[in-house]
Amino acid sequence: MPIISSAKKALRQSARRRTLNLARTDAYKRTVKEFRKLVSSKKLDEAKTILAKAYKVLDKAAKTGTIKKNKADRLKSRLAVKLNPPAPRTPSSA
């Protein structure tokens, strides 16, 4: 246990931040998992609503520093591709 008052305060702060970070991490992981489950079961209308929620949760986690911005962007991109897969490429006749 810390003895100095500033160390006690730092301990309180880190405990508070840890609980908030864990809550945000659980929230985005839960939402992403729910989205992937809906897409795999072909419930695309429900998946679209969850996608918006996933974007919000990922942006919030990135804004508060729980995850990095690039990771949030990468996850959002992958989720969007799962919902709307790109059209197959055709070779150009040049």
Delineate the domains of the chain, giving CATH numbers in brackets: 5-83 (1.20.58.110)
pTM attached to this predicted model: 0.84
Calpha distance 60→27 (Å, rounded): 10
For residue 86, the SS3 value is coil
Q: How far is CA 7 from the centre of its chain?
A: 32
pLDDT in the model for residue 87:
82
pLDDT over 90 (residue 55) = yes
pLDDT over 80 (residue 92) = no
Mean pLDDT of 53-65: 97
**pLDDT by residue (tens digit) across 63-78?**
999 999 999 999 999 9
Kindly give, in sequence order, each residue whose CB lies less than 8 Å from that of residue 38, ignoring residues fewer than 6 positions away: 44, 46, 47, 50
